Amino acid sequence: MGGDTVREKVLQIFDEARTDGRSVLFEHESKRVCGLAGLPVTTFRVAETIEEIVEASQQIGYPIVLKVISRDISHKTEVEGVLLNLMDRGQVENGFWQMKANVQKYNPKAKIDGFLVQEMVSPSTEVVIGMTKDTTFGSALMFGLGGIFVEVLEDVAFRIAPISRSDAYEMIQEIKAYKILTGVRGRAPVDIDALVDILRKVSDLVIDFPEISQLDLNPVIASSKGAKIVDARIILENPQQ
């Protein structure tokens, strides 16, 4: 994956997280790693103050998504720490103060490490791409549709990395809900090649960096014009293992 400069930048992100006492990367750190791997992540900025948030929102362009960054909060949605489709400065400012209040109510001791401002991606078909380490076989890649298909039906496909392009196509075609991706009931088919490209690059990433013990891209918004990673999470191996 890339040259020495890219590798150095990824390892620097890992080292900074570990120096901070974290094995779980913040979302923006995970997205930076993905971006360095050539993966299509949403445009984003990290901000600390309301003034920086407003400036970032204007740079990215409305509508935007606002997310809290906190090492003390595992699931941002549980504390209403994610606000979607903010259309102007007023909504951003109101959302900022409400989000801080929500976090304070959930955990008064929670440290807010900042805020993530990112572009709002138009709704389309959601897919999930992930990786977990298997002690016997190594890095197991996973692909499935998002929402109920993963949570209830467990409609997913697995392969052991590294994978080829044909392996990636097979993974996608293997899920029961594959027809949804090809277009049903008036829905446009999604760009399958874009999903294959993401799977291949994730495979390369986890092979090149065995420090990664878990990776979740959820959701990835797939449309007829490509695919974009909306949320990303990377967990590092314990260096003592």
Q: 76 or 70: whose pLDDT is higher? A: 70
Do 140 and 60 lie in a common domain?
A: no
Q: d(Cα 141, Cα 131) in Å, to the nearest integer?
A: 4
Q: Look at residue 97 and tell me whether its pLDDT is greater than 70.
A: yes
Residue 221 C-beta-side C-alpha neighbours within 13 Å: 12
Whether residue 168 lies inside any domain: the answer is: yes
Per-residue pLDDT for 239 more than 70? no
Query: Do 218 and 135 have their domain in common?
Result: yes
- At residue 43, what is the residue type? T
What is the number of other CB atoms lying within 10 angstroms of the CB of residue 104? 13
Q: Model confidence over 156-192: pLDDT tens digits? A: 999 999 999 999 999 999 999 899 999 877 788 999 9
CATH number at residue 31: 3.30.1490.20
In the predicted model, what is the mean pLDDT of residues 135-163?
Answer: 87
**Identity of the amino acid at 25:** L
Average pLDDT over residues 102-119: 92
At 106, the pLDDT band (50, 70, 90 cuts) reads confident
Q: Residue 57: which pLDDT band, with cuts at 50, 70 and 90?
A: very high
Question: How many domains is the chain partitioned into structurally?
Answer: 2
Quote the tokens at residue 94.
Answer: 């109101």
pLDDT, the chain, mean: 93
What pLDDT is stored for residue 75 in this prediction? 76
CA dihedral of residues 171, 196, 5, 240 (deg, nearest 10):
-20
Per residue in 185-210, pLDDT (tens digit) is 778 899 999 999 999 999 999 999 99
pLDDT at 118: 98
Q: Tell me: do 232 and 132 sit in the same domain.
A: yes
- 100 and 170 in one domain? no
CB hemisphere CA count around 133 (13 angstroms): 15
pLDDT band at residue 241, thresholds of 50, 70 and 90? very low
Q: What is the pLDDT of residues 209-238, one digit of tens each?
A: 999 999 999 999 999 999 999 999 999 998
pLDDT band at 240 (very low <50, low <70, confident <90, very high): low
User: What value does the mean pLDDT take over residues 9-22?
Assistant: 96
Distance CA(237)–CA(241), nearest Å, equals: 7
Neighbouring CB atoms inside 10 A of 15's CB total 11
Report CA 48 to chain centroid distance, whole Å. 21
Q: Supply 38's token pair.
A: 């050539």
| The model's pTM | 0.93
C-alpha–C-alpha distance, residues 141 and 73, integer Å: 26
Between strands 226-229 and 82-86, the pairing is: unpaired
Q: Which of 86, 102, 119 is the last residue of a domain?
A: 119
Per-residue pLDDT band at 86 (split at 50, 70, 90): very high
| Strand pairing class (64-69; 114-119) | antiparallel
What is the rounded CA–CA span in Å between residue 83 and residue 100?
Answer: 12
Instruction: Specify the pLDDT at position 137.
Output: 86
Note the helical H segments in 20-164.
27-36, 50-60, 89-106, 148-151
pLDDT (mean) for 50-74: 95
The per-residue pLDDT for 2 is 56
| Mean pLDDT of the 72-83 span | 83
User: Of 81, 102, 119, which closes a domain?
Assistant: 119
Residue pair 199/131 in contact (Cβ under 8 Å)? The answer is no
Alpha helices by DSSP H, listed for the chain, are: 4-19, 27-36, 50-60, 89-106, 148-151, 165-174, 178-182, 192-208
Domain boundaries, position 144: 125-236
Give a yes or no: residue 241 inside a domain.
no
194 & 92 share domain: no
Residue 21 has, within 13 A of its CA and on its CB side, a CA count of: 2
Domain boundary among 101, 119, 137: 119
In one letter, which amino acid is 189? P
